[in-house]
Amino acid sequence: MSALAHRLSYAALGVALLASSACARGADAERVKSDLQQRLDRDVKADLLRVVAIKREGSAPMPAGESGASRVIVYFNATMELTQPYKFGSWDELGSSSVAYAVGATEKGLFGLQPENKAGDRIRAYGSALYEQSGDGSWCPSRRPTRPAGKPMPPTRRTSRAARRRRDPSS
């Protein structure tokens, strides 16, 4: 191969690497792992779960935040380990929905949670996190959108049927 061909192949490789790094919108895997650990400690229970591994699975654009800054949702697969025994869902303990909320998953996106877990048990999750781009270009965790206070939830089919039954019990 000629020297020109070598240079062209190296240039093509460099362009491909730059292009692939530009496709990763939002925070990188290490940032997502750190932010997830903070959310678990804050929203579930401090030092109950330790994030062992995280694999970033992509991202999608979201509508701009109140400040007008760009936002993305980052999807990931996480493996967490319990650091102590815990009874999820007992009367005075948190339920699996608390873990799902902190991880940004549905309850069906959590695997390994039992009514009673032992220290060392592994929990896997298909999660998500919302990030907003700051003025310096870095990505910071953003709050999930919530509905304004005092605004009722929009009716669903189920609530609409229930409301119709209350008005007309024969239906």
Q: Report the chain's mean pLDDT, rounded to a whole number.
A: 80
Instruction: Place 92 in a pLDDT band, splitting at 50, 70 and 90.
Output: confident
Q: Which of 123, 129, 158, 161 is nearest to 144 (CA)?
A: 129
What does residue 54 show for φ and ψ, rounded to 5 degrees?
-145, 140
Instruction: Place 110 in a pLDDT band, splitting at 50, 70 and 90.
Output: very high
| pLDDT tens string 16-53 | 443 344 456 889 999 999 999 999 999 999 999 999 99
Question: What is the structure's pLDDT at 142?
Answer: 87
The amino acid present at 151, given as its one-letter code, is: K
Question: What is the structure's pLDDT at 61?
Answer: 94
The amino acid present at 85, given as its one-letter code, is: P
| pLDDT tens string 136-158 | 989 999 876 544 444 454 554 44
pTM of the complete model: 0.69
Buried b (16+ CB within 10 A) or exposed e, 151-163: eeeeeeeeeeeee
Q: Which comes out higher in pLDDT, residue 144 or 167?
A: 144
Question: What is the structure's pLDDT at 55?
Answer: 97
Q: Is the pLDDT of residue 135 over 50?
A: yes
Q: Which residues fall within 8 angstroms of residue 146, CB to CB, at 6 or more apart?
A: none
Residue 123 DSSP SS3: strand
Helix 96-103 with 29-43: angle, nearest 10 deg: 150
